[in-house]
Amino acid sequence: MFVTVVMNDATASSSFPDGIAAAHADPATGYGRGRRRWLALILLSVLMIAALAGVFGGGKTRAIVVSGPAAQLELRTPRVIRNGEFFESRIRVTARAPIAKAVIAVDATLWRDMTINTMIPAPAEESFKDGAFRFDYGPLKPGETLIIKIDGQINPPLFAGTEGTVAVLDGERELAALPLDITVLP
């Protein structure tokens, strides 16, 4: 014995769950078809390419170099970083002339809302003067290189970014200075 079921529009629409209509099941006009699917795919692809290009932070850090007659200052640090993330910076000072007292000066505005965890090698003296943290590393002979590794973390209140200057001094005399801005993303 076979039962024949005749479906009309009222019966067909009731076979779908609430909020789903027969048009959603139609392959030609259903949800996710046509332009919307391609637009979502293009948007996802653009976001993935931007992330791979380092637009949202991460990736290799490029060196920023400034040279003066007595010293060359090179800095490697992330230019785009996310809030709460740990980071590493490297400062390299190469003496071109004798430096009696190599001092690294970092503007306080640059390290605002950051925690600096370690600085290797540790400076002989640390001080704060003229709005900058100063780290004394002693004398450098011509051709001698000083490499400093700094580990830090971006604190939660820092948003949008920060800027300041990193400089190498001979006592009080500035030998080379490098302006720096860091973008901080949420």
One pLDDT digit (tens) per residue for the chain, 186 residues: 565 555 555 544 468 788 888 777 766 655 555 677 788 888 999 888 887 777 776 667 788 899 889 999 999 988 888 788 888 999 999 999 999 999 999 999 988 888 899 999 999 999 999 999 999 999 999 999 999 999 998 887 777 778 899 999 998 899 999 998 888 877
Cis amide linkage into residue 121, ω under 30° from 0: yes
Note the pLDDT of residue 105: 95
- State whether 77 and 156 are in the same domain: yes
Please give the Cα distance from 55 to 57 (Å, whole number). Answer: 6
DSSP state of 123: P
Does this model's pTM top 0.85? My answer is no
- State whether 68 and 21 are in the same domain: no
The total number of structural domains that make up the chain: 2
Note the pLDDT of residue 9: 53
Residue 1 within a domain = no
Residue 3 within a domain = no
CATH for 112: 2.60.40.3670
- State whether 96 and 171 are in the same domain: yes
Spatial neighbors of 17 by CB under 8 A, at least 6 apart, are none
Contact yes or no for 150/116 (Cβ under 8 A): yes
